[in-house]
Structure 1
Amino acid sequence: MPGKRILAICGVMALVIAGSMTWWLQGRGEENLGVPEKVCNESFSGDEVEPLFPSVNGELDSLVRESFPGPFENTSGFSASTSCEMTIDGHGVSFRVSHPSYSDPPGRMAKEYEYIAELGDVYGAYFPRGGTLRTVVRCPVPGNERDKLVIVTGADVAERGSDAYEGFDKGVGKLAQLSGYATRTLARKVYKCKGAGEIPRGPVRIKPGKGGS
């Protein structure tokens, strides 16, 4: 009887250990899957980014340059940019921020680009071939009251010709939503641009321009 009791106890312990190992291994295998709660050095909510991936069952690979989103710098015509790029199963979402000393005014963009973008006083353009949406925010800094913050948001679901392209209404609509969110977040919370609190909620509005494709 004592021998049977010892065998029974050993059997229970083996099951407990096996179960614990299975849980540990599953946790290890899934810790990098999908989109985490925060991305791009915790700049953006993962919930806002996730809809831009066709699938979130794969492993997330990310490349963050220059300590994204980086300091606000502008040096006499030279514009340094910083970026955050993420991919799952080969499909990507990206953000790039720059602070140029010059950017095309709204009127010129409307004449030269196929699609232009608006969000209150924020303006920009959508580029179908690259699947990117550029927004320009007035963001004065000491010594340069005309300074701009330029944010380029991109996603394969909004890239014309990509195998992940989801069409204008759906794919580009998702990009417009993400671009609006990213623009407000960076202008208000990171760079604290004067007047950023007045940027409207919701997606960037995209409409036809007078330029070619």
Structure 2
Amino acid sequence: MPAPPSADATDVASPVDAAERPRAVAIITDGNGRWAQRRGVSVAEGHRAGADVVRARLRDAAELGVEELTVFSFSTENWSRPAAEVQALMAMFADRIDRETPELIEEGARMRFIGRREGVDPELVEKMDWAEQQTAGGENITLVVAFNYGGRAEILDAAAKYDGGGEDAFRSLLYGPDLRDPDLLIRTSGEQRVSNYLLWQCAYSEIVFAPELWPDFDRAAFERCLDAYGTRERRFGGRVS
């Protein structure tokens, strides 16, 4: 019996046609801490390097035909990390929103946040709301930031409000009901799990596990993952004759 095809991004031998690349991509941006540790720098510096890569890959995504890019920036479980790391992350998020929102406007990028707002500092929530309002007219690409996000939490929050009506009615209660389901889910750092990320939305997403730590995930690695998607045969539970 032949072995199943690998999910590793290194399996792609040659680029595929751009028309076969995904339009909605979600990324688990994993590896900032290990990147920092290997270089003998602070975890906060690793997170800053990772945030720089988000901006760079967003520009690449727009050029490569991606219409929605969702990144996992802070999970509901990340509150258990050391207090100093969490505080540094919150300060970095606030600073990045202030500095990068004007750049997103210039680039025609729309910014959205999904996740629980409860428990987040009210000043940071105001900045998130402000960024969404300021970039609402962006038409080139949508950057979706999963912040204080957990897939189980999202489903539980929707279930608490659900009164019936089927799958579409339930979906309307999710954090971003107007957003697309990802065609492709990428996880960096070599780990091979979905880590409570977009559990509803990724039901039929193709998955690619990339070996690079997130701060090392360059354009070539990104294109390799997009090309890997183009080699997959998507059946959504059906059968291709």
> TM-score, structure 1 length as denominator?
0.28
Q: Which has the higher helix share?
A: 2
Q: Which has the higher strand share?
A: 1
Rg: which structure is higher?
Answer: 1
